[in-house]
Amino acid sequence: MTAPAPALSVEGLRVAVGPPGRGRAVVGDVAFAIPPGGRLAIVGESGSGKSMTALAVAGLLPRGARQTAGQIALGGRIVDPAGPGMARIRGREIAMIFQDPMSALNPVMTVGAQLVEAIRAHSAMSPRAARARAAEMLAAVQIPRPAERLDAWPHEFSGGMRQRVMIAMALTHRPKLLIADEPTTALDVTTQLQILRLIDGLCREEGSALMLITHDLGIVEGFCDSVVVLYGGRMMEAGPVAAVLGRPRHPYTRGLMATIPPLDRDVDWLDPIPGEPVATPAADAPGCPFAPRCGLAEARCRTVTPAWRPAGSKVAASCHLLAPSPAGGGLS
């Protein structure tokens, strides 16, 4: 029996910015797969390449950035996200929601008109039927009095309501993959939880796979089943959420856990990672991008890029110290 093709598979993804030939890689050798209905988190700080990875998959890279290597497949079919066929795929097979729902909505169109446009972009539905469907969608994202709200303008909605509209729009055509790039970062904390539960519930109902971009490990723990940890445009560690967060192998993942204040107990001091993330990394430079901030770094960490290797059941990581070193020791 063969396993069903993954909803999304990414192999050897590389994204560069700047002029061709003289560009700098901001994402290097990123690879992962999401099974149908699976929920993957991509975690990282500023400059980790997490948003660039998401935009590359959706074929929405900003001007000046381009995919220079790698293969992206949707449901087992290889696609070219930058190619002309992507417009038919985006919105129907892949949908994306962003951090700021105000700038993603058109301020001079009513909410209903935007939903109708999204529905009719990929179906031959009549305007009247599309409007009825739009009201159903607003109801599905738990907006009260949905039929009346179709005539509202985006500025009449709160941030949380706007994000609900974006979710409704994204899930219109039951995509196989929903990409959510920091969908709750701009919202109030109690609204964040409601929106994440809504995304989670609707993805389960529709059977959509979820690729969630976040910097919050608590969100990863609560809403995803596997996780990719990025730093400086490269993969540090990946695996099932329970394994990676329960027993982080990579010094960066460990450092990230220790740096966050716990909610359920008192600690006198936090264990910060020294220094700050580099805003514009060179993901193709030799060595480990985390080496300058890593307390365990050795000479080879700065000169030799560590291989991606298994680091436990279903977990893999990129760190020299995970392999038995000539001096003995190692982390695992």
Partner 1 sequence: MPSSGAVTGGRGALVTAPALAVEGLTVGYGRAAPVLQSVTLTLPQGETLGLVGESGSGKTTLARAVVGLVAPTAGSIRVFGADIAALDRAGRALLRRRVQMVFQDPYTSLDPTMTVGEAVAEPLVVHGLGGRAERAAWVDELMRLVGLDASIAARFPAELSGGQRQRVAIARALAPAPALVICDEPVSALDVSVQAQILNLLKRLQRELGLSLLFVSHDLSVVRFLAQRIAVIEGGRIVEDGPRVAVLDRPQHPYTRALIEAARLRARPAGG
Nearer to partner 1, 148 or 188 (CB): 188
């974006």: which residue's tokens?
166
Q: Using CB under 8 A, which of 219, 236, 315, 317 touches partner 1?
A: 219
In the sheet that 77-79 helps form, which strands lie side by side, from edge to edge? 24-34, 8-17, 65-74, 77-79
State in Å, rounded, how far the first CA of the chain is from the last one.
34
Of the candidates 306, 317, 301, 153, the one whose C-alpha atom is nearest the C-alpha of residue 249 is: 317
On whether the CB atoms of residues 86 and 79 are closer than 8 A, the answer is: yes
| Element spanning 73, H or E | strand 65-74
Q: Using CB under 8 A, which of 97, 111, 166, 220 touches partner 1?
A: 220
Nearer to partner 1, 48 or 67 (CB): 48
- State CA 122 to chain mean position distance: 24
As measured in angstroms, the least distance from the Cβ of 217 to partner 1 is: 5
Using rule CB under 8 A, residue 319 touches partner 1: no
| The amino acid at 174 | R
Using rule CB under 8 A, residue 325 touches partner 1: no
Nearer to partner 1, 121 or 331 (CB): 331
As measured in angstroms, the least distance from the Cβ of 197 to partner 1 is: 11
Nearer to partner 1, 71 or 185 (CB): 185
Tokens (6 digits) for 136? 């159903």
Q: Using CB under 8 A, which of 11, 100, 200, 216 touches partner 1?
A: 216
Nearer to partner 1, 69 or 193 (CB): 193
In the sheet that 226-231 helps form, which strands lie side by side, from edge to edge? 94-97, 177-181, 209-214, 39-43, 226-231, 234-240, 316-317, 309-310
Cα(10)–Cα(270) distance, rounded to whole angstroms?
A: 36
As measured in angstroms, the least distance from the Cβ of 9 to partner 1 is: 27
As measured in angstroms, the least distance from the Cβ of 257 to partner 1 is: 4
Residue 227: other Cβ atoms inside 10 A:
27
On whether the CB atoms of residues 150 and 135 are closer than 8 A, the answer is: yes
Using rule CB under 8 A, residue 242 touches partner 1: yes
Using rule CB under 8 A, residue 201 touches partner 1: no
Cα(56)–Cα(68) distance, rounded to whole angstroms?
A: 10
Piece in contact with partner 1 (CB under 8 A), picked from 21-29, 108-116, 217-225, 297-305? 217-225
Using rule CB under 8 A, residue 240 touches partner 1: no
Binders of partner 1 among residues 43 to 102 (CB under 8 A) are 45-46
Strand partners, 11: 71
Binders of partner 1 among residues 252 to 311 (CB under 8 A) are 255-264, 266-267, 269-274, 276-277, 279, 293
As measured in angstroms, the least distance from the Cβ of 44 to partner 1 is: 9
Tell me the backbone φ, ψ of residue 301, rounded to 5 degrees: -65, -25
Q: Using CB under 8 A, which of 1, 124, 189, 327 touches partner 1?
A: 189
- Under the rule (CB under 8 A), what is the footprint of partner 1? 45-46, 184, 188-190, 192-193, 196, 215-222, 242, 245-248, 255-264, 266-267, 269-274, 276-277, 279, 293
